[in-house]
Amino acid sequence: MTNSQSKSCKECSKSFEIFPEDLVFYRKINVPEPTLCPDCRQQRRLAFRNEKNLYKRACDLCGAGMISFFDKDVNFPVYCSKCWWSDKWDPFAYGQDFDFSRPFFEQFKELTHKVPKIGVLQLNNENCDYNALVAYSKNTYMSPGSYVVEDCYYLRKSQYCKDCANSNFLDHCELVCASVNCNNCYSCSNLIDCRNCSDCHYVAHASGCQNCFMCSDTVSKKFAFKNVPYPEAEYRKILEKYKEKTSEELSKEFGEFMATLPKKYQNQINCESSAGDYIQNCKNAQNCFDCFDVEDSKHMIESVDVKDSMDLSMHDKEIELCYECCSGGEKNYDLKFAFCTCDSQNSSYLYACFYCMNCFGCDGFHSKNKNCILNKQYSEAEYKDLLPKVIEHVRKTGEYGEYFPVSLSLYGYNDSGAQDFYSLTKEEALKKGYPWKEKDPAQYRPAPKLTETNTEKLADTVTKEIFSCKHCGKNFQVLMQELKLFKKMKQPLSDLCGNCRFVELSKLKNPRKLWARNCDKCGTTLKSSYATGRPEKVYCDKCYLQTI
C-alpha cells in the first residue's frame, strides 16, 4: 500500500491515510472520500447500537409489558416483537415526499421519530427476555449478540456455549467464566485467548492445556504453574496456597507474570496478507478486529463472512460490497449507510429495515419492499427517475457519503456502544450535540456492596438482596441461577453491575488499533496491537512460534 494521501479528520483533526485501493472501492460504489478518520467513523456507527441498557415498559400497540431498548419517555412509538413483525401496522403509512428545499438528515429524523421501533431484537429463544440481539438460546440473561447459548449469564458475542458467565467472545465453551476470546474450553476461569483448554485458571494465549494455573503463551502443558510443569500432587499444593487470595491479588500477579513473556504481534489464525487482532480465516483483511472469514475488506469490527467491503461494525453472514453499516446480517449486498438491516440490496440510508431492494432513506420495513424513498413507494420507472435527483441534492448539502450524524441516534450516547470504546462525559457529549440519557435514580439507590463473593460461604438468601456496583454504584441483584452456576464452578461472584463487568473484560484485550514497531527478536517491521512503549517484548510470527 503506497502513494497514500493524507487527510485531516473533520471531527478530531487527526490525520488519516487514504490509499489507492480505498479510492478504487469508493469509485466502485460511487461515494465520495470519507471526511472522518476510521476511529471517528466507527464511533459514529456504534452510537446507534444499544446492547446492554434495557428498560421495562409497555408495548404502544398491544399494551403488553416488555423489555426494551427504549425507556418509556421516548417520543416515538415502541412495539413488542410480536406486534412489530405483524401486519397490524403499515410502514408506508408514514411515507413522506422528499423535500428538495431541506437537508436530507432533517427529513430522515422526522421519519424515524414517527415510525414504530421494535422493543428488542430477538429470534427463537426460550426464557431469554432480558437480552438484546440474542438468537436460538435458552435460559440466558444479559448476553447481547450471542446465539445458541444455554444457561449463560452476562456473556457478550458468544456462541454454542453452556453454563458460562461474565465473559466475552466465547465459542463452544462450557463452565467458563471471567474469560475473553476462547474456543472449545471446559471448566476454566480467567482465560485470555485460549483454545482447547480444560481445568485452567488465569491462563492466557494458550492451546491444548490441562490443569494449568498462572500460565501464559504456552502449548499443551499439564499441571503447570507459571509455565513450569509439576507432579500433580505438588501442583495441587500450589493451588491450595493461592486459595485464600482475592481476585484482585490473583489478577495483579497474573498480569505481572504475563508481561515477562514475549507476545505475538497480532492474534491471527489461518490468515493471509491481513492486519488486525483476533482475526481468523481472513485474506487481505486490513485493520480488522474480532473478525472471521473476511476477504478484501478494511476497517471491520466483529464481522463475519464479508467480502469487498469497508467500515462495518457487527455485520455478518454473506455480506458483500457494503460500506458504513452497523448491526446487520445475512445477504446484504451493495448496501451503504445502514443500521440494523438484513437481506437488503442496492439501498442506502436504512434504519431497521429487512428484505429491501432499491430503497433510500427508509425506516421500519419488515417485509419485502422495493423502490422506496422516505417510506413512500414508487414504480420502478419513477424510482429510477427520482433517485438520482435525491442523491444529487444530498451531495449538494454535503450529507451524501456520510453515515447518520450522532445527533440522529435514538439512544443517549451513554446508552450506546460508542460509550464502551469512545467514552465521553455528559458535558463532552452535549457540547458535540449528542443525545444523553440521564441516570434513573431508582437504579442508583443506596445499597451495600457485595463484600462476600465466596460462593461457598453464601446462602441462597443473597439473591433477595439489592447491591451497589463497586465501580459505578448502579444497583444489581445476584440471580439464583447465577449463584448456583458459580457454586458449581467453585468461582467467586462478581461485585460489579453488568456494564462494569463488560468494561473490565474489555481491558483484558489490547486496543483496536495497530502501531508500527519492530520484532524485539529479529527486528522485522510489524504492525501490532501492542503499542510502542509497552513493557512486553513483541515477536513476529516466526520468532514467537520458535519461542513457545
- The three-state secondary structure class of 485 is helix
68 close to 55: Cβ distance less than 8 angstroms? yes
- DSSP character string of 304-341: EEEES-EEEEEEEEEEES-EEEEEEESS-EEEEEEEEE
Instruction: Classify residue 32: in a domain, yes or no.
Output: no
Report pLDDT for 2.
58
Torsion 108-113-115-116 (CA) sign: positive
End-of-domain residue from the set 220, 243, 264? 264
Longest dimension (CA), the chain: 80
- Give the pLDDT confidence of 223-240 residue by residue, as tens digits: 999 999 999 999 999 999
Instruction: Classify residue 41: in a domain, yes or no.
Output: no
Let me know whether 482 and 462 are in one domain.
yes
CB neighbour burial string for 264-296, b if at least 16 within 10 angstroms, e if fewer: bbbbbeebeebbbbbbbbbebbbbbbbbbbbbb
Instruction: Classify residue 284: in a domain, yes or no.
Output: no
Let me know whether 260 and 162 are in one domain.
yes
Q: Which domain holds residue 521?
A: 515-547
End-of-domain residue from the set 216, 249, 264? 264
Ramachandran region, residue 441 (left: φ > 0; alpha: ψ -120 to 50; beta: rest): alpha
Contacts of 179 (CB under 8 A, 6+ apart): 167, 170, 173, 185, 188, 189, 190, 191, 192, 194
> Which secondary-structure segment (H or E) carries 60?
none
The model's pTM is: 0.94
Q: Which of 485, 509, 452, 456 is nearest to 154 (CA)?
A: 485
CA 483 centroid distance within chain: 26
Cα 227 to Cα 218: distance, rounded to the nearest angstrom: 7
In the structure grid, which three cell numbers stand for residue 381, read together? 420507472
Altogether, the residues listed in the chain come to a count of: 548
- The three-state secondary structure class of 190 is strand
Cα 454 to Cα 444: distance, rounded to the nearest angstrom: 25
Cα 112 to Cα 86: distance, rounded to the nearest angstrom: 19
CB neighbour burial string for 14-51, b if at least 16 within 10 angstroms, e if fewer: eebeeeeebeebbeebebeebebbbbbbbbbbbbbbbb
pLDDT tens-digit profile, the chain (548 residues): 458 899 999 999 999 999 999 999 999 999 999 999 999 999 999 999 999 999 999 999 999 999 999 999 999 999 999 999 999 999 999 999 999 999 999 999 999 999 999 999 998 999 999 999 999 999 999 999 999 999 999 999 999 999 999 999 999 999 999 999 999 999 999 999 999 999 999 999 999 999 999 999 999 999 999 999 999 999 999 999 999 899 999 999 999 999 999 999 999 999 999 999 999 999 999 999 999 999 999 999 999 999 999 999 999 899 999 999 999 888 999 999 999 999 999 999 999 999 999 999 999 999 999 999 999 999 999 999 999 999 999 999 999 999 999 999 999 999 999 999 999 999 999 999 999 999 999 999 999 999 999 999 999 999 999 999 999 999 999 999 999 999 999 999 999 999 999 999 999 999 999 999 999 999 999 999 999 989 899 999 999 999 88
Cα 343 to Cα 350: distance, rounded to the nearest angstrom: 12
Torsion 237-238-241-245 (CA) sign: negative
Let me know whether 183 and 256 are in one domain.
yes
Let me know whether 463 and 522 are in one domain.
no
Let me know whether 448 and 543 are in one domain.
no
319 close to 341: Cβ distance less than 8 angstroms? no
Contacts of 147 (CB under 8 A, 6+ apart): 134, 135, 136, 137, 159
Instruction: Classify residue 47: in a domain, yes or no.
Output: no
Beta bridge partner(s), residue 264: 539
CA 261 centroid distance within chain: 29
Work out how many domains the chain is built from and give that number: 3
Cα 23 to Cα 250: distance, rounded to the nearest angstrom: 49
Instruction: Classify residue 91: in a domain, yes or no.
Output: no
In the structure grid, which three cell numbers stand for residue 411, read together? 439512544
Let me know whether 502 and 519 are in one domain.
no
If one counts every other C-beta atom within 10 angstroms of the C-beta of residue 3, the result is 6
Let me know whether 452 and 525 are in one domain.
no
Let me know whether 454 and 542 are in one domain.
no
Instruction: Classify residue 481: in a domain, yes or no.
Output: yes
End-of-domain residue from the set 196, 231, 264? 264
Instruction: Classify residue 59: in a domain, yes or no.
Output: no
Beta strand pairing status for 186-195 and 180-183? Answer: parallel
Let me know whether 465 and 539 are in one domain.
no
154 close to 142: Cβ distance less than 8 angstroms? yes
Cα 285 to Cα 275: distance, rounded to the nearest angstrom: 6
Strands (E), 397-514: 467-468, 475-476
Let me know whether 535 and 454 are in one domain.
no
Report pLDDT for 1.
45
Report pLDDT for 4.
85
Let me know whether 253 and 187 are in one domain.
yes
Beta strand pairing status for 5-8 and 15-18? Answer: antiparallel
If one counts every other C-beta atom within 10 angstroms of the C-beta of residue 248, the result is 8
Cα 430 to Cα 450: distance, rounded to the nearest angstrom: 34
Instruction: Classify residue 56: in a domain, yes or no.
Output: no
Let me know whether 206 and 178 are in one domain.
yes
Contacts of 153 (CB under 8 A, 6+ apart): 140, 141, 142, 143, 164, 165, 166, 479, 481, 482, 485
Q: Which of 1, 11, 75, 87 is nearest to 47 (CA)?
A: 11
- Give the pLDDT confidence of 380-393 residue by residue, as tens digits: 999 999 999 999 99
Query: Over the chain, what is the mean pLDDT?
Result: 96
Cα 293 to Cα 283: distance, rounded to the nearest angstrom: 8
